[in-house]
Amino acid sequence: MLTPLTPLEFARRARSLYADRDAVVDGEKRWTYRELFERCDRWSRALLELGVAPGDRVAYIAPNTHAQLESFYGVPQIGAVVVPLNYRLLPSDWVYMVNHSGSRVVCVHSDYLDLVDRVRHEMPAVEHFVALEGGGDGWLEYERLLSDAKHELLRPEIGENDLLTINYTSGTTSLPKGVMITHRNAWVNAVGTLIHHPMTCGDRYLWTLPMFHANGWTFVWIVTAVGGTHVCLRKVDAPSVFGLLARERITMLCAAPTVLITVASAPEDLRKTAPRGLRVLTAGAPPAAHTIERVEEELGWTITQVYGLTETAPFITVCEPRPEHAGLAVPERARIKARQGVELITSGNLRVIADDGSDVPRDGETVGEIVVRGNVVMEGYYRDPEATARAFEGGHFHSGDAAVVHPDGYVEIRDRLKDVIISGGENISSIEVEGVLLRHPSVLEVAVVGLPHERWGEAPHAFVVLEPGATLSEEEMRAFCRERLAGFKVPKGLTIVPELPKTATGKIQKYVLRGGRAGISSQ
């Protein structure tokens, strides 16, 4: 009688209960749940005709479109693995991830066809390139594949520990790691999220969060589980967001702090059109208490912070509201809401540990590392047993995030043990950016750290020691980096220093640099 824990069960249930309800809105296009899953079935048949077998990987480079959403059903229901890639990266990044994952099929949105065309020859293992929209020489057309699919759909038995997705994340090294998420991981995260943040079939969810980000924080399956409506948003800008909020009667969204800042800073005429009472989950970087206060007070929305990592499917804490919080002054309540919070019921055992492995006291002051073990923790890093072993040292997954625990048990991140910069919800490797800048002829030494930023929450800032007699302007630095890095990785500011602060052993003291600047303005 045991049934495997898989988000494909949500699809089975939605087919039965919500067949005639709105499932997807993408611009002028609309589909019911019956129509959505008919399309997913046709895509499954098309993939089978292309030779895709259980365990094969299918990569996607696409914004939030119906086709990207369909991937999270059409691919895994034949036992294949979805590899959603960050469309904001460079073509060279895509080449690495496609080759590393061994993807046999690559599906690309029309905005990125030309970029992929330039590097197709560098992906020799790819057997088929599919244009999700548009097309051209050497491209199969998605809609034509769907309409021509004749293969009988044989649904293989899916095990809950089977691989569902590979999600690439850049840690502290320049090479991304492939996080292996199982069907069980995703199911447990989805159900746990719904326990703490209930939804119903009346909810209409706006896709402000990229679906490639940890599988849209599993909302690609959560919304379907309750029969809600997915409203696609291909590009986040204030007019598009507020237009859809009103037109589509949105009740909920997820957003990195940078999106909250975009919303809070929108012109007043737009903000007046926003429906009140929206529920918002925020994660990706610790939001400023001031941002939470503005959104809740000015727009009448309710913000809940969650915390996790791609490696934890992704949520491991939620800033759970308590009755005693309601009576607090708005600034104090916002300060508590800015904490990462407490374990989800389903996420497993979360600890904050000292160097000796003991739990730190609940004093709100003693800093330790967040570690976790439970059913949301990844299977491991794809084709990287060494990194997997390091991450699981001592029987827990090590987050690399430094935090304190308050007397009420709420966790609050104070710093990152790793030098990852989280800008607008994107992870940036400081080592990668430093490696690029060190190739500039004027640069002798460099350290890149994250500093507060009005728009992005945090942004990379470069501290540079110049070669004798050399000069370097901020614009020159940015131009040099733009040619070699994805746009969001380019430092937003530059400080020329005579020397970098170092320990006696020559290690750069980045905490000194972080404390030396109060922040940088929006650029």
* pLDDT, average across residues 365-388: 95
* 343: Cβ contacts below 8 Å, ≥ 6 apart: 316, 317, 349, 350
User: Per the CATH hierarchy, to which homologous superfamily does domain 420-515 belong?
Assistant: ANL, C-terminal domain (3.30.300.30)
Percent of the chain with pLDDT over 70: 94
Q: Which amino acid is at 184?
A: R
Q: Which of 521 and 376 is assigned the larger pLDDT?
A: 376
pLDDT of residue 439: 85
* pLDDT, average across residues 249-264: 88
Reported confidence tier of residue 194, pLDDT bands at 50, 70, 90: very high
Instruction: Give the CA distances from residue 305 to residues 2, 251, 438, in Å, rounded to whole numbers and listed in that order.
Output: 34, 17, 37
pLDDT of residue 523: 44
Where would I find the H helices in 392-492?
430-437, 474-482
Q: Which of 316 and 403 is assigned the larger pLDDT?
A: 316
Where would I find the H helices in 102-231?
113-119, 142-148, 183-196, 214-217, 219-225
Tell me the C-alpha distance between 450 and 515, whole Å.
11
* pLDDT, average across residues 3-29: 97
**For residue range 272-322, what is the model confidence (pLDDT) as tens digits?**
999 999 999 998 766 666 678 888 988 999 999 999 999 999 999 999 999
Q: Is the peptide bond before 314 cis (omega within 30 degrees of 0)?
A: yes
pLDDT of residue 417: 67
**For residue range 315-353, what is the model confidence (pLDDT) as tens digits?**
999 999 999 998 998 888 888 888 999 999 999 999 999
Residue whose C-alpha is closest to residue 101's, from 85, 86, 89, 116: 85
Q: Is the pLDDT of residue 47 over 60?
A: yes
Task: Pick from 427-431, 492-496, 507-511 the range whose average pLDDT is largest.
Answer: 492-496
Tell me the C-alpha distance between 225 and 511, whole Å.
44
The continuous run of DSSP H or E covering 484 comes out as: none
pLDDT of residue 520: 45
Q: Where are the beta strands (DSSP E) in 300-389?
A: 302-308, 315-318, 342-343, 349-353, 368-373, 380-381
Token pair of 85, please?
């890639």
Q: Residue 239, class by beta-carbon neighbours within 10 Å (0-12 exposed, 13-18 middle, 19+ buried)?
A: exposed
Strands of the sheet containing 411-416, edge to edge, are 349-353, 368-373, 397-405, 411-416
Q: Is the pLDDT of residue 507 over 60?
A: no
CATH code given to domain 8-235: 3.40.50.12780
Token pair of 245, please?
């909020």
Tell me the C-alpha distance between 320 and 309, whole Å.
18
Reported confidence tier of residue 504, pLDDT bands at 50, 70, 90: very low
* 83: Cβ contacts below 8 Å, ≥ 6 apart: 57, 58, 59, 60, 97, 98, 101, 103, 165, 166, 167, 168, 178
pLDDT of residue 85: 96
* pLDDT, average across residues 409-413: 92
pLDDT of residue 287: 65
Helix/strand/coil percentages in the chain, nearest 5: 35, 25, 40
Q: Is the pLDDT of residue 517 over 80?
A: no
Residue whose C-alpha is closest to residue 299's, from 253, 342, 232: 253
Task: Scan for tokens 């020159």, then name that residue.
Answer: 476
**Which residues lie across from 423 on neighbouring strands?**
426
For the chain, what is the radius of gyration of the CA atoms? 23
Q: Which amino acid is at 293?
A: E
Q: Is the pLDDT of residue 270 over 60?
A: yes
**For residue range 444-490, what is the model confidence (pLDDT) as tens digits?**
889 999 999 988 889 999 999 998 899 999 999 999 999 999 999 99
Where would I find the H helices in 122-182?
142-148
Residue whose C-alpha is closest to residue 489's, from 181, 93, 188, 122: 93
Q: Please provide the average confidence, as pLDDT, over all residues in the chain.
A: 92
Reported confidence tier of residue 265, pLDDT bands at 50, 70, 90: confident
Percent of the chain with pLDDT over 90: 75
pLDDT of residue 418: 64
List the single range of 127-131, 167-171, 467-471 with lowest mean pLDDT: 167-171
Q: Is the pLDDT of residue 426 over 90?
A: no
Q: Is the pLDDT of residue 139 over 50?
A: yes
* pLDDT, average across residues 99-114: 98
pLDDT of residue 249: 96
**Domain extents for the chain?**
8-235, 420-515
| CA distance from start to end of the chain | 58
Reported confidence tier of residue 148, pLDDT bands at 50, 70, 90: very high
Q: Is the pLDDT of residue 254 over 90?
A: yes
pLDDT of residue 286: 63
Tell me the C-alpha distance between 15 and 21, whole Å.
10
Tell me the C-alpha distance between 196 and 175, whole Å.
35
Confirm if 97 and 168 have CB atoms less than 8 A apart.
Answer: yes
Q: Is the pLDDT of residue 522 over 50?
A: no
Q: Is the pLDDT of residue 174 over 60?
A: no
